[in-house]
Amino acid sequence: MYGKISAPDRVSRNVNDIGVRDGARDDTAREVETVVVGAGQAGLSAAYHLRRTGAVPERDFVVLDHAPRPGGAWQFRWPSLTYGKVHGIHALPGMELTGADPGRPSSEVIGAYFDDYERAFGLRVHRPVDVRAVREGADGRLLVESSEGTYATRTLINATGTWDRPFWPRYPGQETFRGRQLHTAQYPGPEEFAGQRVIVVGGGSSGVQHLLEIAPLAAATTWVTRTEPVFRDGEFGQEQGRAAVALVEERVRRGLPPRSVVSVTGLALTDAVCKGLDDGVLDRLPMFDRITADGVAWDDGRRVEADVILWATGFRPVTDHLAPLRLREPGGGIRLEGTRAVRDPRIHLVGYGPSASTIGANRAGRAAVREIRRLLDREPELTS
Ligand SMILES: Cc1cc2nc3c(=O)[nH]c(=O)nc-3n(C[C@H](O)[C@H](O)[C@H](O)COP(=O)(O)OP(=O)(O)OC[C@H]3O[C@@H](n4cnc5c(N)ncnc54)[C@H](O)[C@@H]3O)c2cc1C
């Protein structure tokens, strides 16, 4: 087990060492070079690379995460999402994930793996610690306000993922529906839907997985998507991967809200998906026009009655705590050059947009640390 060090002592020493100038300083703030917010794949990759540059946890950097356990968002994923069902999880840098039972829930497999990883590299993640706001401090430092106090940091790696911000589209009549509405983020597994009529909304892989699981137990399922789903036959090779990432990257470079990488890769035609297409479980209807008390309706007179509407409509980046820094562009996104926020070179976003995949998060962690190191080395007077 790792014990937490007594940060305030250490920090007050640092404050004296560097001789902070006048300004809006929080004297109780603990000073570090880097705060990493989030300990999912992206945050742990960043922490690993920080260690490799010689940075010491607690003294030079801290990793803060508001979840109760190791595992990032994986710890919250539904039990029927077994390790064998997820596609292409890349190991974290420096330590393979070997011998995992494909029948075990990925929440457990990844949770245990991240736990081992944090211990192996002594990353000392602080949890549960919620970062509430990041604002400008004195002397070029950022103030990171958290549930365990304030950090005054030179640089920030934001790795907060998307899980905490499920996206619920709004449709007329939504509040009149007498049945149950839930989002993928609350999906408990298929058993609860036995004998019910379920509408699944959303054309991503979560929606497809929900349907394939629920259909054998439910009284009826209906699949509704905004755009025609695109199924991808054959191998998803490096070239297709690069093309998909480039599409998302282009949006982020223009300051538009990122789309998920999965949304541009198409849906894999696995055996289960082929069977779902053959059985009619994956017959898709266009988006309904309104929600009624007992189901959904289209303007052409079609209606489907339902007990449940399951919104598999994706997630949005968790960035509200960065709002005081005004990083957002008029287009609604945070413009990045690589992982660096164009409006503030002290801030890197990893696992955001083009790096929102396990492999992308790995690479982003390394890239962010490389740039941060350069920035800190350029301004050594505040870091020595
Ligand atoms: C259902 C589902 C299945 C997926 N399957 C795959 C797959 O098979 N392969 C793949 O490559 N990708 C997959 N993805 C995408 C995958 O989740 C990401 O690629 C990757 O795991 C995300 O890592 P992350 O570190 O960016 O985010 P997360 O794992 O979400 O970690 C973010 C962390 O930040 C913390 N946090 C957030 N806000 C705060 C705050 N304000 N203060 C403190 N802590 C905070 C959270 O507690 C969390 O631990 C899937 C996504 C979903 C939703």
Predicted confidence at residue 236, as pLDDT, reads 64
pLDDT averaged over every residue in the chain: 89
Read off φ and ψ for residue 299, nearest 5 degrees.
Answer: -65, -20
Predicted confidence at residue 141, as pLDDT, reads 97
285 and 155 Cβ atoms separated by less than 8 Å: no
pLDDT digits (tens, 9 = 90+) for 147-180: 999 999 999 999 999 999 999 999 999 999 999 9
For residue 9, pLDDT over 60 is answered with: no
Beta-bridged to residue 82, according to DSSP, are 105
Element (H, E) at 212: helix 205-214
Regarding whether 67 and 33 lie in a shared domain, the answer is: yes
Q: Sorting pLDDT into bands at 50, 70 and 90, what band is 242?
A: confident
**Nearest C-alpha to atom 27 of ligand 1 is from which residue?**
161
Q: Which atom of ligand 1 is nearest to the CA of 129?
A: 43
108 and 289 Cβ atoms separated by less than 8 Å: no
Regarding whether 286 and 199 lie in a shared domain, the answer is: yes
Can you tell me the mean pLDDT for 263-286?
Answer: 91
Q: Which of 188, 176, 183, 218 is nearest to 202 (CA)?
A: 183
Q: Starting at the earlier edge strand, list the strands of the sheet with 290-292.
A: 290-292, 295-297, 303-305
For residue 19, pLDDT over 70 is answered with: no
Query: Looking at the domain assignment, is residue 283 inside a domain?
Result: yes
Q: Sorting pLDDT into bands at 50, 70 and 90, what band is 234?
A: low
Beta carbons within 8 Å of 310's beta carbon, 6+ residues apart: 181, 182, 183, 184, 187, 198, 199, 200, 201, 210, 214
Q: Is 21 helix (H, G, I), strand (E, B) or coil?
A: coil
Can you tell me the mean pLDDT for 169-193?
Answer: 97
User: What is the C-alpha to C-alpha distance for residues 163 and 110, in angstroms, rounded to an integer?
Assistant: 15
pTM of this prediction?
0.89
Query: Looking at the domain assignment, is residue 238 inside a domain?
Result: no
To the nearest whole percent, how much of the chain has pLDDT over 90? 74
Beta carbons within 8 Å of 252's beta carbon, 6+ residues apart: 258, 333, 334, 335, 336, 352, 353, 354
Query: Looking at the domain assignment, is residue 383 inside a domain?
Result: no
Q: Sorting pLDDT into bands at 50, 70 and 90, what band is 370?
A: very high
| Greatest pairwise CA separation for the chain in angstroms | 73
Higher pLDDT, 384 or 256: 256
Query: Hey, how many other C-beta atoms are within 10 angstroms of the C-beta on 317?
Result: 22
What is the distance in A from the centroid of ligand 1 to the CA of 311?
19
Query: Looking at the domain assignment, is residue 70 inside a domain?
Result: yes
Regarding whether 294 and 364 lie in a shared domain, the answer is: no
Q: Sorting pLDDT into bands at 50, 70 and 90, what band is 260?
A: low
Q: Sorting pLDDT into bands at 50, 70 and 90, what band is 380?
A: low
Regarding whether 208 and 112 lie in a shared domain, the answer is: no
User: Is 37 a pocket residue for ligand 1 (Cβ < 6 Å)?
Assistant: yes
Lowest-pLDDT choice from 36-40, 83-87, 308-312, 367-371: 83-87
The CA-based dihedral angle spanning residues 348, 352, 353, 357, taken in that order and rounded to the nearest 10 degrees: 130
For residue 89, pLDDT over 90 is answered with: no
Higher pLDDT, 205 or 349: 349
Predicted confidence at residue 158, as pLDDT, reads 98
User: Is 77 a pocket residue for ligand 1 (Cβ < 6 Å)?
Assistant: yes
Lowest-pLDDT choice from 80-84, 144-148, 292-296: 80-84
Regarding whether 200 and 151 lie in a shared domain, the answer is: no
Query: Looking at the domain assignment, is residue 293 inside a domain?
Result: yes
Regarding whether 147 and 90 lie in a shared domain, the answer is: yes
User: What is the C-alpha to C-alpha distance for residues 324 and 128, in angstroms, rounded to an integer?
Assistant: 23
Domain endpoint, select from 253, 287, 311 = 311
Regarding whether 178 and 160 lie in a shared domain, the answer is: no
Out of 35, 86, 311, mutate this one to test ligand 1's pocket (max ligand atoms within 8 Å of CB): namely 86
**Nearest C-alpha to atom 19 of ligand 1 is from which residue?**
357
For residue 275, pLDDT over 50 is answered with: yes
Lowest-pLDDT choice from 81-95, 159-173, 247-261: 247-261
Regarding whether 148 and 52 lie in a shared domain, the answer is: yes
Regarding whether 151 and 73 lie in a shared domain, the answer is: yes
Task: Give helix 205-214 / helix 271-279 axis angle, nearest 10°.
Answer: 60
Tokens describing residue 95: 């330590």
Out of 164, 320, 355, mutate this one to test ligand 1's pocket (max ligand atoms within 8 Å of CB): namely 164
Domain endpoint, select from 256, 284, 311 = 311
Q: Is 81 helix (H, G, I), strand (E, B) or coil?
A: coil
CA distance readout (Å), 95 to 44, 45, 63, 112, 113: 12, 11, 19, 13, 9
User: Is 314 a pocket residue for ligand 1 (Cβ < 6 Å)?
Assistant: no
Q: Is 143 helix (H, G, I), strand (E, B) or coil?
A: strand
Query: Looking at the domain assignment, is residue 258 inside a domain?
Result: no
pLDDT digits (tens, 9 = 90+) for 203-218: 998 999 999 999 999 9
Can you tell me the mean pLDDT for 141-150?
Answer: 98
Which 3-state string (H, E, C) describes 233-245? CCCCCHHHHHHHH
Predicted confidence at residue 235, as pLDDT, reads 64
Regarding whether 154 and 16 lie in a shared domain, the answer is: yes
Query: Looking at the domain assignment, is residue 251 inside a domain?
Result: no
Higher pLDDT, 233 or 49: 49
Length of the chain measured in residues: 384
User: Is 70 a pocket residue for ligand 1 (Cβ < 6 Å)?
Assistant: no
347 and 341 Cβ atoms separated by less than 8 Å: yes
Predicted confidence at residue 17, as pLDDT, reads 34
Query: Looking at the domain assignment, is residue 237 inside a domain?
Result: no
User: What is the C-alpha to C-alpha distance for residues 308 and 200, in angstroms, rounded to an integer?
Assistant: 8
CATH number of 190's domain: 3.50.50.60
Structural domains of the chain, count? 2
Domain endpoint, select from 311, 335, 364 = 311
Amino acid making up residue 112: A
Which 3-state string (H, E, C) describes 291-346? EECCEEECCCCCEEECCEEEECCCECCCCHHHHHHCCECCCCCECEECCEECCEEE
Q: Sorting pLDDT into bands at 50, 70 and 90, what band is 382?
A: very low
Regarding whether 132 and 212 lie in a shared domain, the answer is: no
Q: Which of 178, 212, 182 is nearest to 307 (CA)?
A: 178
Q: Where are the beta strands (DSSP E) in the chain?
A: 30-37, 61-64, 131-136, 142-146, 149-158, 180-183, 197-201, 220-225, 231-232, 267-268, 284-286, 290-292, 295-297, 303-305, 308-311, 336-337, 340-341, 344-349
User: What is the C-alpha to C-alpha distance for residues 30 and 8, in angstroms, rounded to an integer?
Assistant: 6
Regarding whether 322 and 307 lie in a shared domain, the answer is: no
Q: Is 193 helix (H, G, I), strand (E, B) or coil?
A: helix
Predicted confidence at residue 14, as pLDDT, reads 36
Q: Across 12-26, 36-50, 95-109, which has the greatest mean pLDDT?
A: 36-50
Print the domain residue range for 304: 174-230+266-311
Predicted confidence at residue 299, as pLDDT, reads 97
